[in-house]
């Protein structure tokens, strides 16, 4: 089993797969399935999930995003099967809040790393799915590909250079003032607008980016020392603290879940 799948199994937010139930979702709930016209959308992903977070419907564009051949390959699976643990966890939290009625998501801007490492700039809207009795049984929504909708992305385009710089230089020391210069803003304006548009500070975004790449190194079997030293962290103690805050587990736990083991790491003090 790969580290990704093992990690998903360990997460308390990771739903248990029930593909048969997912396939029968619409019939069992007594509601109509989504219109086939959603498959004709060229700039918008459509998705529907049951209360367990499993996909019960996905249009063709979403299937293409995940490099799948048909809808059969997505039904019954969850975001944890396709996205990094931290991104999938945030999406799951949003889904649960929408179903609980405590959150309204409309045109939320999200930056998601695809299966091929490509950035997706998305505007997501979600609403609860109700059965014939009016009970909330899932969540559905649209995610518009911002790069295909230039009129929507216009206010965010100014951050493109700084985001790409962080994607390229995450392993090095990055000065926020330098990012502000790339966006042609003062430091205070850049930090304020970045947080407004991305719901996190530039440093928080950079931290998640570094942890994402550290996970990839650990999953590939590289040691913990290499994982933190090649992703911009100054020492193992700080790396462990930040890693746990994002993934919910220590680097050691993640590494052991991967099934990887080498002599170099047995010599390390794994916090």
| pLDDT tens profile 156-181 | 778 989 999 999 999 999 999 999 99
List pLDDT tens digits, range 91-116. Answer: 999 999 999 988 889 888 877 765 55
Are the C-beta atoms of residues 171 and 148 closer than 8 Å to each other?
no
What's the pLDDT score for residue 226? Answer: 92
Better-scored residue on pLDDT, 192 or 149? 192
Most confident range (mean pLDDT) of 9-18, 91-100, 141-150 is 91-100
Give which of 85, 45, 78, 108 is closest to 245, Cα–Cα.
Answer: 85
Cβ atoms within 10 Å of 137's Cβ, excluding its own: 18
What's the pLDDT score for residue 54? Answer: 94
What's the pLDDT score for residue 150? Answer: 60
List pLDDT tens digits, range 39-61. Answer: 888 788 899 999 999 999 888 88
What's the pLDDT score for residue 144? Answer: 86
- 134 — alpha (psi -120 to 50), left (phi > 0) or beta? left
């Amino acid at each position: 089993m790969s580290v990704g799948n093992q990690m998903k199994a360990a997460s308390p937010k990771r739903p248990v797969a029930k593909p048969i139930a997912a396939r029968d979702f619409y019939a069992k709930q007594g509601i109509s399935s989504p219109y086939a016209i959603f498959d004709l959308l060229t700039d918008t992903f459509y998705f529907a999930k049951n209360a367990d977070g499993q996909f019960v419907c996905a249009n063709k564009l979403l299937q293409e995003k995940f490099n799948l051949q048909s809808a059969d390959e997505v039904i019954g699976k969850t975001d944890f099967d396709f996205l990094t643990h931290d991104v999938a966890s945030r999406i799951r939290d949003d889904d649960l809040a929408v179903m609980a009625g405590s959150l309204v998501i409309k045109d939320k801007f999200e930056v998601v790393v695809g299966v091929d490492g490509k950035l997706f700039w998305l505007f997501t809207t979600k609403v609860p799915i109700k059965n014939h009795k009016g009970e909330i049984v899932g969540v559905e929504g649209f995610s518009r590909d911002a790069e295909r909708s230039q009129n929507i992305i216009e206010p965010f385009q100014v951050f493109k250079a700084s985001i790409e710089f962080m994607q390229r230089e995450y392993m090095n020391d990055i000065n926020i003032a330098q990012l502000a210069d790339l966006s042609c803003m003062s430091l205070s304006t850049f930090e304020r607008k970045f947080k407004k548009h991305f719901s996190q500070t530039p440093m928080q975004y950079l931290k998640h980016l570094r942890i994402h790449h550290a996970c990839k190194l650990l999953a590939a079997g590289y040691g913990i020392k290499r994982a933190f030293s090649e992703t911009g962290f100054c020492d193992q103690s700080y790396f462990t603290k930040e890693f746990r805050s994002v993934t919910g587990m220590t680097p050691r736990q993640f590494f052991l879940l991967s099934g990887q083991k080498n002599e170099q790491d047995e010599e390390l003090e794994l916090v």
